[in-house]
Amino acid sequence: MDNLEEKFPLVDEEGRVIGSATRGECHNGSRLLHPVVHLHVFNSAGDIYLQKRPEWKDIQPGKWDTAVGGHMDYGETPEQALRREVSEELGITDFVPEFVDKYVFDSKRERELVYVNRTTYDGPVRPSAEELDGGRFWTMQEIKEAMGKEILTPNFESEFRRCFPDMACH
């Protein structure tokens, strides 16, 4: 279960820290803007790795999502958070991230400042048994067929279309 007392930084739309709040406060509909990091992991064949969200997650349980997505801890930089989350969630430490985009994700329940990164990686992936219900590489055809069918998280779908429009159209 998620720790609802975990402290997150609150930021403005440029990413400057303006305060802090708990996970519970950030996810209770208050829509306090807090930063997250995402990593899209592609292999050299062009497939993309997706994680399966556990049923116990408070947001989008049981759906397939971005390979790595996690909240920044208070006092952490986006780069530090990305390295920590990738290691925790997939057991990957030897990767080269490429910054793709930064945007505000806005839903009825929360607002996140998302730092989007990508990497190409062909090594072993060891999804965390504590944080995920596994994961696998998906072909672009599988992604296209799953879009709009409540299999993938809405956040992944919109981010994939936004950040990788050439791939989303194939």
The per-residue pLDDT for range 22-73, each reduced to its tens digit, is 999 998 989 999 999 999 999 999 999 999 999 988 778 999 999 999 999 9
- The residue ranges of DSSP E strands in 6-134, in sequence order, are 7-11, 17-22, 33-42, 48-52, 64-66, 68-71, 98-106, 111-120
| pLDDT computed for residue 1 by the predictor | 62
| pLDDT computed for residue 9 by the predictor | 97
Mean pLDDT in residue range 146-161: 94
The torsion of the CA quartet 5, 9, 13, 15, rounded to 10 degrees, works out to: -150
* DSSP code for 53: P
Residue holding tokens 């429009």?
A: 165
Exposure string of 43-82, with b = 16+ CB inside 10 Å and e = fewer, is eeeebbbbbebeeebeeeeebbbbbbbbbbeeebebeebb
- The secondary element (H helix, E strand) that includes residue 82 is helix 78-90
What are the pLDDT digits (tens) for 73-97?
Answer: 999 999 999 999 999 999 999 999 9
Pairing label, strands 33-42, 48-52: antiparallel
pTM: 0.92
| pLDDT computed for residue 19 by the predictor | 97
Q: Identify the residue with better confidence: 106 or 117.
A: 117
All domains of the chain in start order, with CATH = 7-168 (3.90.79.10)
Q: Is the pLDDT of residue 156 over 50?
A: yes
Percent of the chain whose pLDDT exceeds 70: 97
Average pLDDT, rounded, for the chain:
93
| pLDDT computed for residue 110 by the predictor | 87
CA distance 167 to 26: 32
